Structure 1
């Protein structure tokens, strides 16, 4: 009986087996019931009757009606006598987004305080990372006084040139100390006298270290 209702004969491409099912949408509402376990079951004498070629009791709404419900807005129709007739929306309008709502009291003050704290932290980090000289030199005149460079721009160009190898620089005081230690540790060479050179004008004795 179900095969006849389906209008489909069995053949190579269609075989009725224990695993063949029909969707519950093809039955009447009264033919489908729920078991205590929540499963859908069909009455034994039920026959599927809702198909594309059959006339359904409830027709699908027109695209205009479906669009009206989906948009959730008021629609004005023009009646036959030319008067406007207002139709209420079938569904409630969608609520505004959360960014349109007003912030709670005190939220703006807390945000401003947080911004001030972050800006202060950035200033502290910038002060630590920048060269120590910039703590004292804030103008071209200061740079000329402390560095003998004519301007901050010239000093910055010089600093960018030597910064990659700045870790290899040796201060003059350290170089002097290292030089003195090297000289003191070195063994002095024996002194030898050169023969006296007699000249008609001068008489010199030259010693070589």
Structure 2
């Protein structure tokens, strides 16, 4: 009697997709929800890297292998067409991001569908001026001599320029205050001392290296509510509902909990979320 030994092969399911986030302040672009965008790494040239950091307004920013800037911050001339056969969008040599919220650039939005467009209201204004039937050569009166004084025009232009500079300065202040008041990884990315205190990782680079290893597994996270815990059932369904924090900020919150032993009420206050989300 002979026994045949069956070989069992185990195949680990991997997800080849990578989730890139744009590191420009106030840009929420992600490769998972914006498939039409491309996400570009920082150039290797040190001088060109400094130009990128200055343009995106990230002082003391530590560039890592996961740092990306999305294509909507570059002008069309900086994007090489067509993309590579693999579908990767490339940049022209020396390209620098220049399109941001703070320089009055509005991110492109999708055009409304044909069924969402509204018709223009009918034109109620008369198309022709009433004329005198006894006048064989009707004409319209125009004031061709009326013109704006050069001095008044210069004052108006100077005032507009001052207003633009004031608006730009105020926007920068609002952005800096928003970033400084937000309790998240982005706020402490430039300080390795704060990273060690809140997460126990030696540096920000070590933390991001660890995050890169576990990031693919975030798609398979099982979220359990208190009601499911009370039932004590092993059949817990996957929850695909959106969360109030980005996955990397959820990881930062969890490391705060392990490193400092903070209570849920304290964590909810720091991250400005409801206690139930913690």
Greater RCO (CA < 8 Å, at least 6 residues apart):
2
Q: Which has the larger radius of gyration?
A: 1
Please identify which structure carries the higher strand content.
Answer: 1
Q: TM-score, normalised on structure 1?
A: 0.29
